[in-house]
Structure 1
Amino acid sequence: MTVKSNGFEVVFGRPAKVLAEAPGRVNLIGEHTDYNGGYVLPTAIPQKTRVEIAPREDRLIQVATANVDGGALLSFRAGEEARRGLWLDYVQGITAVLRGRGASIPGFDARIESTVPLGSGLSSSASLLVALARALRSMLGLSIDDVEIARIAHAAEHDFVGAPVGTMDQMAASLADESTALFIDTRTLAFERIPLPAEAELLVVDSGVAHQHASGDYKTRRAECKQAAAALGVPELRDVDATRASIEPRIASLPAPLDRRARHVVTENARVLAAVAALRAGDLARLGELFDASHRSMRDDFEVSVPAVDELVESARAQPDVFGARLTGGGFGGAIVALVKRGRAASVGRAVVEAYARTPGRRATVLVGGPVP
């Protein structure tokens, strides 16, 4: 989608004062570990959310978006935020959190346009939240760093919107770039940028099956993880050491499905650490094996994949130039990510999309399929 430079002026009849952007993200590995205090490994994608903004002299906040509701203009008053169950809640969430942290929020006009696909597991919501927080930081001269931007965005989505997400998406939208993987300890928010391998490129394919973080299934998985941690006597599943020989029998003794949920999180944390080691060593075969193992765990133990996504993963894995492939994002639809031999992502993407389309009613879209910069 082309972002029109005059979009704000068309809507509001005056130029914008501030422009801010934030990328979507694809998670290479480390799914459903972030709200368990664990490790994640996302990277930024080329698609971004753009926010244009200008202050007003009253308390009215007006927001337009080109992506939903036909560009409808919605509004609320600063200090009177109330959840409505609409996309506007993400805007209200940011202003409410900033006010709660002592910022004086005036009225403003804002226009949002995004190329991050909605419901694809690529963090369109975090991209919006971070872009808006950046715009307000600039407009108001707020002294907050990029980690704090991520914290504010997470509080807006988790506490105001009511989506039980972890911190990975907001950290990635605020800190990730396209040339490195962002290794994050979600408990401490410590992070490290690790260069992506020059010998490979990423392929991201959207299944066309949309998901929602605020859906009941996602909330159920989070509750199950909390129950499993309590049963194992630890604060979070992050605290279970996968290398201890005694842990597998303890996990296996949990009632179903808590045993499977715990096993996924514990082994997924271990896979993230192994993936970081593989990246540092340039071991693409090992990294691909970890992708494949992660998908099996998400499919069988965490049960967040769906047949359409499984079909895409298997189709990608069948290609000789693919090291590994997996569901990325929260699941119940969304996209897959594959690690592909450099120079082959475009051809692999075409083959995967064509094979997927042979099933009536299915249409996949290649979202990322060129060389990693």
Structure 2
Amino acid sequence: MKCDLQSKFNELYEAKPKYLAYSPGRVDLMGSHTDYNHGYVVTMPINLEIECAFTPNETGVVELYSCDFNTTIKIDTKTGEMVEGDDWGKYVSAVAKVLIDEGHVLKAFKGAFCSTIPVGSGLSSSAALEATVMAMLAHVSGFDIDKKNMALLSQRAENVYVGVNCGILDQYSVIFGERHKAIKLDCRELTHTQVSWPNDLMVAICNTNKPRTLHGSEYDNRRAQCEEAVAEFAKIDKSITHLRDVSIEFFHANKGVLSEGAAKRAQFIIEENDRTHELEEALTNGDYPLLKDVFNRSFEGARDLFEIANDTMGQMYTAMSTAPGVVASRQAGAGFGGCMVSLVYKDKLEEFKKGVFNTYKELTGIECIIYGVKTATGTHIEPCAQEVLEN
């Protein structure tokens, strides 16, 4: 990818790029929708990534080309407004605007990027783009942003200027990634612990080829129902500010004050939050029966309580759960389509992929895409190696 991308940069701008910026995608292993409820998430940055070749310029206009969409966007560095471009440029514009809101004076760059993160798959393609753009703008403009603030500002960009009321999970995951580790994120304290990854397992991401769309979807409805539950429970116990504060015992004793929808959403979040601790224990101890049980309960809750698992996801779950070499399977991301995830024995990956592909096609008529992925390093910038540029 690297040499082709740099060649594309040269073709577009008749110059060589000075830097390469990277951000990984991410897949959550446990903790669907727990992030905005101030809970815990076990997440894994993955080696499906965005890579961008770039160099500073003095025009006052960011010019960024997407190899995947074959379009260029231009952003005014004084206002953050997109003066030319495509729909994906709204994420670039949003990042520029939040940095301007923070009082930063932005300088421009020209760049070209490509991505191996499937768009609309629930693997954080938008968060990876936001983090990459923020890192590049900070780099060429001469100011530093610590990782936590970068995650918060990227989240604000998506909340305020893109219009998606997402939590912190995606941005934090792609920025803080480390090789050979999963991350257990505390979404209230914005701290994390590293969870060791078993040597004999890898993650298989199974793309249903039914893209999801958060904007205008049921995502905001689910969040509102969680907030409704908190408001009712806070009338009983004023210390409750988020569903993280609610034990399963308190929930069952007081669920009668909730509407049916809010009760189902709250039960899922409370149980899902507890499952993150179980998953950390299972990964640390190599307890694969517990891994399977925790994953199964998560999918069942996503389907029956949070109602984010559509028919296509159910068919993919069947295909994954019956394939050779599988240890555990569940939903990925926010649900409503997109990708799902399995933990698979490394030496059985190809058999697993063949089994899932055939069963899913038989059930749906759709040919799915399956990725075997590894852990990855979070957002970072490297200088272009001169010897690479000259080859």
Q: TM-score, normalised by structure 1?
A: 0.93
Offset, 1:119: 0.7
Tell whether the 8 Å contact from 2:178 to 2:375 is kept in structure 1 after alignment. Answer: no
Tell me which amino acid in the other structure corresponds to 1:81.
G
Q: 2:325 & 2:375 partners in 1: Cα distance?
A: 14
Gaps of 5+ in 2: 235-239, 378-391
State whether structure 2 residue 330 is matched by structure 1 residue 326.
Answer: yes
C-alpha contact (below 8 Å) 1:317/1:324 kept by paired residues: yes
Aligned-pair CA distance for 1:342? 3.4
Task: Determine if the alignment matches structure 1 residue 241 to structure 2 residue 240.
Answer: no
Structure with larger RCO (C-alpha < 8 A, sep 6+)? 2
1:358 is paired with a residue whose SS is: helix
1 CA distance for matches of 2:35 and 2:375? 28
Question: Aligned pair in 2 of structure 1 residues 95, 372: CA closer, same or farther (>3 Å)?
Answer: closer
The question of whether the paired residues in 2 share the 8 Å contact of 1:36 and 1:237 is answered with yes
- Unpaired runs of at least 5, structure 1: none
The 1:291/1:255 distance shift into structure 2, 3 A limit, reads same
Deviation at 1:195, TM superposition (A): 0.9
> What corresponds to 2:310 in structure 1?
306
* Counterpart residue identity of residue 331, structure 2: L
CA separation of 1:27/1:178 partners in 2, compared to 1, >3 Å: closer, same or farther? farther
Letter matched to residue 333 of structure 2? G
Tell me the distance in 2 between the aligned counterparts of 1:372 and 1:342.
17
Aligned-partner residue type, residue 246 of structure 2 = V
Q: Could you tell me how far apart the structure 2 residues matched to 1:126 and 1:138 are?
A: 18
Distance in 1 between the 2:139 and 2:347 partners?
39
Give, as a single letter, the amino acid of the residue that structure 1 aligns with 2:105. Answer: S
Q: Percent identity?
A: 27
Structure-2 change in CA distance of 1:6 and 1:13 (3 Å): same
Partners of 1:45 and 1:204 in 2: how far apart?
10
Q: Is 2:30–2:42's contact at 8 Å kept on the other side of the alignment?
A: yes
* Distance (whole Å) between structure 2 residues aligned to residue 85 and residue 34 of structure 1: 30
Offset of residue 253 of structure 1: 4.5
Deviation of 1:372 (Å): 10
3-state SS, counterpart of residue 347 of structure 2: coil
1:331-346 alignment to 2 at 5 Å? 331-346=335-350
1:17 aligns with 2:18: yes
Q: Give 1:39's aligned residue.
A: 40
Q: How many residues align?
A: 369
Alpha-carbon distance change, 355 to 159 in structure 1, aligned in 2, over 3 angstroms: same
Contact residue 6 and residue 16 of structure 2 kept, 8 A: no
1:356 pairs with 2:360: yes
Match of 2:270 among 258, 266, 269: 266
Q: How far does the alpha carbon of each residue in 1:218-269 deviate from its partner, in whole angstroms, 9 at most, with x for none?
A: 1111111111111111211111123xx3421323542121111001111100
Secondary structure at the residue paired with 2:337?
coil
The alignment's C-alpha RMSD in Å is: 2.1
| Deviation (angstroms), 1:188 | 1.2
Secondary structure, aligned partner of 1:26: strand
Q: For the Cα contact (< 8 Å) 1:9–1:15, is it kept in 2?
A: yes
In the alignment, which residue of structure 1 is the partner of 2:387? Answer: none
Distance 1:9 1:80 in 2: 28
How do 1:260-299 and structure 2 match up within 5 A? 260-299=264-303
Q: Distance in 2 between matches of 1:85 and 1:110?
A: 15
Deviations 1:319-358 (A, max 9, x none): 3532221010011101111112331122112101111112
